[in-house]
Structure 1
């Protein structure tokens, strides 16, 4: 990926990072255990947590 994304990504950036095309899929990932950090109503997903989530779900 050529674009450098911040470590703490918003939902749109997270979708790019994980190469998913819909918010519904992202919400399914969150329900399946992808951790979201919420500070003063702002939601962010840590790149390291996203990597860890994907590694845990590998079969």
Structure 2
């Protein structure tokens, strides 16, 4: 996959089926590069954005193991 992707390529990379999901990420700060009339998204920018917005979750099973239940 190339470094700079079209919206369609970025959606595929992220596993999105909806363009509105990608637009939500863009509204939340995912950078877009404008080249003439074309818009591109950097793979590196996507990876960085995802890392910065990563949250940890604890499911019931792992919680009970830690508590000794």
TM-score of the alignment, normalized to the shorter chain, above 0.5: yes
1:10 and 2:12 aligned: no
The alignment's TM-score, normalised by the length of structure 1, stands at 0.89
- List, as ranges, runs of 4+ consecutive aligned residues in structure 1 with deviation greater than 4 Å: none
Unaligned stretches of 5+ in structure 1?
none
Greater gyration radius: 2
Higher normalized contact order (CA 8 Å, seq sep 6+, divided by chain length): 1
Unaligned stretches of 5+ in structure 2?
56-69
Distance 2:52 2:17 in 1: 21
